[in-house]
Amino acid sequence: MTTLVLGLVLGGTYALLALGLTIQYGIARIMNLAYGEMTLVSAFCLVFLFQKLGLPPLVSILLVAPAGYLLGWVLYTVMMRPLVDRAANPGKLEVDSILATFGLLFVLQGVMLLVFGANFTSISYLDRGIPVFGVTIALNRLIAFAICVVAGGGLALALSASRWGLIMRAVALTPGSAPLVGIDVNKVARQAFALGSALAAVGGTSVAMYQTFSATDGVVFTMKALVIVIMGGVGNVPGALAAGFALGLVETFVSVMIDPGLTLAATFAIFLAVLLWRPQGLFGRRA
């Protein structure tokens, strides 16, 4: 029981981290290697707002998320749009976007080091233990879990049930033929990229609440998110949620039942198994 609860909560925080990337990669077709840095920028912003202005993190999320959206919008307009225009095919765009965002990663990291310094950063916020089914969970992790469920659930619902979601899915599925039915693919892709950035920002704020981080940790988050996205199926929100939870559960179980030293190995073992068994991801469709 303990393991189950701890694993689910950990999985929720993982899934939340991966949501934005799955949208960016699935719909906008941009493989964003600077994703982890984006989450960190928002984590630093949250700490700054909390320490300097005394803004409670839960309020800051309401500020940071739209700011993330705006940043994503600007980034897409300035940096990604020319790549999209130039790319002859989706494969070319993937390669180009990987190279471009790889550069962006260092830019963002450098800016963070300059502005926030190299120090390990963390805040103490809602560090109380809350008993859940007899297991003590830190309240801030529980909140991250709740945010994940709300954001992930809402997004999955919007994508599957609304007209906006239909358009998004159309672009994700066949960017080539979406314009034939009057969809402005560029607008949709820009929206998707911006939405992904907003989700990265939300993920970052939750990370800031329960974890110690420093300006050079971005790659860790990117890797985790990438594994989850690919496992869940690219652009598939329910898939990313399921994969995140699965990873959290497996890590916790392995840690308790076998050996904590094998958690990382287990993660990649599952990742490999999924890739071999269903290369399109757990919930992906065959292209």
Partner 1 sequence: MIAFTRRRAMGALLAATAASLTLAAASVSWAQEQTVKIGYAIAKTGPNATGAGITTLPNYKMWVEEVNAAGGLSLPDGSKRMIEVIEYDDRSSNEDLVRAIERLATQDEVDLILPPWGTGPNLAIAPLMDRFGYPQLAVTAVTDKAPEFAARWKRSFWMLGGGHDYAEGLAAVLKSARDAGHINGKIAMVSVADGFGIDLVNGARPAFEEAGFEIAYDKSYPLGTSDFAALMNEAKETGADSFVAFSYPPGSFGMTKTAQSAGYNPKVFYIGVGGAFPIYPGIANDKPAGVMSIGGVNAASPEIQAYFERHMESAGAPPDSWASAITYVSLQMLEQAVERVGLDHEKLAGELSSGTFDTLIGEVKLEDNQLRDLWWVGQWQDGSFRGIDPAGKDGAAEPIIPKPEW
List contacts with partner 1 (CB under 8 A): 2-3, 6-7, 9-10, 13, 74, 77-78, 81-82, 106, 109-110, 113, 117-120, 122, 124, 127-129, 136-139, 210-217, 220, 251-252, 255-256, 259-261, 263-265
Q: What are phi and psi of 6, to 5 degrees?
A: -60, -40
CB of 207 to partner 1, least distance (A): 8
> Of the two residues 127 and 184, which places its CB atom closer to partner 1 in the complex?
127
Q: What are the Cα distances from residue 226, in Å, to 36, 52, 95?
A: 10, 33, 15
Q: Measured between alpha carbons, how far is 147 from 262 in angstroms, rounded to an integer?
A: 29
Q: Measured between alpha carbons, how far is 265 from 72 in angstroms, rounded to an integer?
A: 33
The C-alpha R_g of the chain, in whole angstroms, comes to 19
CB of 110 to partner 1, least distance (A): 6
Find tokens 């950035």 and name the residue. Answer: 197
> Of the two residues 10 and 195, which places its CB atom closer to partner 1 in the complex?
10
CB of 43 to partner 1, least distance (A): 13
> Of the two residues 142 and 237, which places its CB atom closer to partner 1 in the complex?
142
Q: Measured between alpha carbons, how far is 101 from 96 in angstroms, rounded to an integer?
A: 9
> Of the two residues 101 and 255, which places its CB atom closer to partner 1 in the complex?
255
Find tokens 């399109």 and name the residue. Answer: 280
* AA identity, residue 76: Y
Find tokens 């963070």 and name the residue. Answer: 112
CB of 7 to partner 1, least distance (A): 8
CB of 222 to partner 1, least distance (A): 12
> Of the two residues 74 and 157, which places its CB atom closer to partner 1 in the complex?
74
